[in-house]
A = this chain, B = another copy of it.
């Protein structure tokens, strides 16, 4: 007996697999048309079966954000080429990294400072393995990364002089602004002038995917959100609501006033992430409704602008602001196709904070 999405107890996080597959194919085609290697970031879904779909569509490998994510994906045999875009620091973690390097065909990390480089080199020596590394570059977004092209060259040189360290290239996030292009061009000039080969230049970001052709120096691209899409991605012009594969099924459990509805999903499912979205998610069936806030288990909805209003007991579908963080709230998500449940995916790499 097929189970309809309408029969799911709520709250439930549902993934439309037709949309997922279309999103995977579209990103792969875009990157291929620019000759870019696709290295999707699995933090968005944290599910080996979906990473496998990305690999089957043509990805060269995957990107992870914590060692624990790499371990889950390696255990599942998803890919033998994994990039960890994180400063790996401390013996507990460099030991785990060394073990992964032994298991995988290619395992690379990023670094943006000498302390991290030294720790990696020591681990490489201890275990007799080479540590492949990219220099993380802050090309204008004020996150991690060396602050100038010259600093990228200096750190690359310094780390290359350390035992068991193998320079692989440059990494930045996101690749959206003209300044980023100029920054990378200058860094490549400096590295070239110093006779240092740069096999990999790794860019990323789902909203910027459509303009990846503006960055001709890139060799590979890391995007995560595109597999599901969300209100942020739509707001940034990277997708339409029809491309959003993830919805939170939630029941109206209270209608305290004419203009107020309360959903049985709050920040414990959808989180308080807002970024440049206006409310806290879009209700598909009531696009004029506004989710004004959350408690942990309740979503507060303002219905003032709605001609038709939902009844108590009605189930609605909410496109969340930020799909990646919703993934991390759930032990499992439900894969559906044309309204019928096809698979229950344990979120195997959920909660891997280390």
Chain A interfacial positions (CB closer than 8 Å to B): 9-11, 43, 65-66, 86-87, 89-90, 92-93, 112-113, 115-116, 138, 142-147, 251, 253-257, 260, 262, 264-265, 267-269, 271-274, 295-298, 300, 311-313, 324-325, 328-331, 351, 353-354
Contacts and interface: CB of A to CB of B under 8 A. Distances in A.
A267 B298 contact: no
B271 A271 contact: yes
B313 A296 contact: no
Q: Which secondary structure dominates where chain A touches chain B?
A: loop
B9 A354 contact: yes
26 contacts: A9-B354, A11-B353, A65-B297, A86-B253, A89-B312, A115-B311, A115-B312, A115-B313, A116-B312, A138-B256, A142-B260, A142-B300, A143-B256, A143-B295, A144-B253, A145-B254, A147-B257, A268-B325, A271-B272, A272-B273, A272-B274, A297-B353, A329-B353, A330-B351, A330-B353, A331-B351
Given A272-B273, A351-B330, A90 B251 contact: yes
B300 A143 contact: yes
A113 B254 contact: yes
Nearest to A146: B256
A254 B144 contact: yes
Contacts of A264: 87, 89
A265 B66 CA distance: 11
Contact of A267 (B268, B271, B296): B271
Given A143-B298, A145-B254, 18 more contacts: A9-B354, A11-B353, A11-B354, A43-B296, A65-B296, A65-B297, A86-B297, A87-B253, A87-B254, A89-B253, A115-B313, A116-B253, A142-B300, A143-B256, A143-B262, A146-B256, A147-B257, A265-B353
B147 A256 contact: yes
A268 B87 contact: no
A257 to B, nearest CB: 6
Contact of A353 (B86, B269, B353): B269
A186 B42 CA distance: 55
> Which A-B residue pairs are the 5 nearest by beta carbons?
A9-B92, A87-B253, A115-B312, A272-B272, A144-B254
